[in-house]
Amino acid sequence: MSSVQPISTVPIQKIKAGPLPDRYARGWHCLGLTEKYKDGKAHSIQAFGTKLVAFKGEDGNVSILDGYCPHMGADLSLGCVEGNTVTCAFHHWRWGSDGACKAIPYARRIPPKARLKSWPVVEQNKLLFVWNDPEGNAPDPTVAIPRIAACFSDKWTDWKIEEWKINTNVRELVDNLADMAHFGPVHGQKIDYFANVFDGHVGYQMARGGHETLSDGELVADDAYFGPAYHITRMCANVGGNILNSILLNCHVPIDQDHFILRFGVIVEKNPALSDAENEAVADNYITLTQNAFHQDVEIWDSKTRVDNPVLCDGDGPVYQLREWYSQFYTDAAEVKKSPRNVFEWRREVGTWSQREDIPPEAVSDLDKI
């Protein structure tokens, strides 16, 4: 006769997931290579729960407007670019880069309300960025995208960028910044040293250790989120007996609260001892390896659930502190509290996390120059 097992009295942790934010993060969002938008065509962009249209005017600048014509709702990306305007394919209303209607072919006057939103745009590192702010404020100059000198040097390859649609909220991606524990199970990476620094609008990650596929020895990776959505990694690895320096782009643009576009790109420093063809081959191979490694995360994000109350152990990183740092981008600018720099460290020889306020000596001295 089988016996009935007694019900455990140990409390069970139930996963909690509150409502998703009713806004999208304040800050610069990367839309990929600038040249993509300079072909003379109108480009459709699904972002921030709506549709935008991007186009290059005859002045050489890329403009981004709300993507639906306020006249009768047509998709402006179906129209054509004329001068510094985009012309609606439905009734040929012409919209300028400032969002104002410039001409209506069958009207004697333009209605005063004939205006749509013009989104702030900036070009940096050969990439195009659009500014989102739910309060409608202009871009904050103190959070400008930093220039990467390598992007303009013939000693480095050009960006190679892949785009993926990820079926979850963007927070799942950002959590990776503090998730040291996943590097071994997911990427086969042995971490010897790991640190997070949360300093104003910038969130850093520093990792040192081996990697099964990306390095034959120690892999050094210094990462930084500059704002909510633009993430750069400077990486140094030993590949085939040669030191290989690379810079990784990891940026996202929310389509809506349950989907985002992830752009993952790489540039590689050329080896002066190799020919251009050989450098391209090395770069292509390493770019494929890094993209494959990143896609290991994507496979998990696409199927996991959102957890607002994760059960953490003493070996986990500062996940809650990361989320607190990230919440500033969803808070009205006037209500963002200035917090002291927070540094969290983990060392293999110690096996525990510690907290400090100064930048650790293991970190490179010029993180701001990534």
pLDDT (tens digit per residue) in 252-304 = 999 999 999 999 999 999 988 888 888 888 878 877 887 888 788 888 888 88
Q: Per the domain annotation, does 124 fall within a domain?
A: no
Domain range holding 269? 152-369
Please indicate, yes or no, if residue 87 is contained in any of the structural domains: yes
The verdict on 213 and 329 lying in the same domain is yes
Answer yes or no: do 349 and 217 share one domain.
yes
112 and 163 assigned to the same domain: no
**Residue 71 covered by a domain:** yes
| Last residue within a domain, chosen from 101, 119, 137 | 119
Say which residue the tokens 């790109």 belong to.
265
Domain endpoint, select from 119, 136, 168: 119
- Number of domains within the chain: 2
**143 lies in some domain:** no
The reply to whether the predicted model has a pTM over 0.85 is: yes
The band of 215, judged by pLDDT with boundaries at 50, 70 and 90, is low
Say yes or no: 45 and 175 in one domain: no
Q: And the tokens for 349?
A: 């020889």
pLDDT digits (tens, 9 = 90+) for 133-192: 999 999 999 999 999 999 999 999 999 998 999 999 999 999 999 999 998 888 888 889
Phi/psi at 286 (nearest 5 deg)? Answer: -70, -35
CATH value at residue 292: 3.90.380.10
Residue environment code for 64-88, b if the CB has 16+ CB neighbours within 10 A, otherwise e: bbbbbbbbeebbbbebebeebbbbb
Q: In the predicted model, is pLDDT for residue 89 greater than 60?
A: yes
CA-CA distances (angstroms) from residue 174 to 179, 182, 225, 311?
Answer: 9, 13, 9, 18
Q: What's the pLDDT score for residue 360?
A: 63
Say whether pLDDT at 363 is over 60.
Answer: no
The pLDDT, as a whole number, for residue 368 is 47
Does any domain span residue 144? no
CATH number assigned to the domain comprising residue 74: 2.102.10.10
Statement to judge: residues 71 and 156 lie in one domain: no
**Domain presence at residue 141:** no
**Do 208 and 326 share a structural domain?**
yes
Cross-strand partners of 332: none
Say whether both 100 and 168 belong to one domain. Answer: no
Q: Which residues lie closer than 8 Å to 203 by C-beta, 6 or more apart?
A: 177, 196, 197, 224, 225, 322, 325, 326
Distance, CA of 31 to CA of 348 (rounded, Å): 38
Q: Assess whether 206 and 280 both reside in one domain.
A: yes
**Is residue 241 in some structural domain?**
yes
Q: Does the pLDDT of residue 367 top 70, yes or no?
A: no
Kindly state whether residue 63 falls inside one of the protein's structural domains: yes
Q: Which of 102, 119, 136 is the last residue of a domain?
A: 119
42 and 176 assigned to the same domain? no
Residues 207 and 317 in one domain: yes
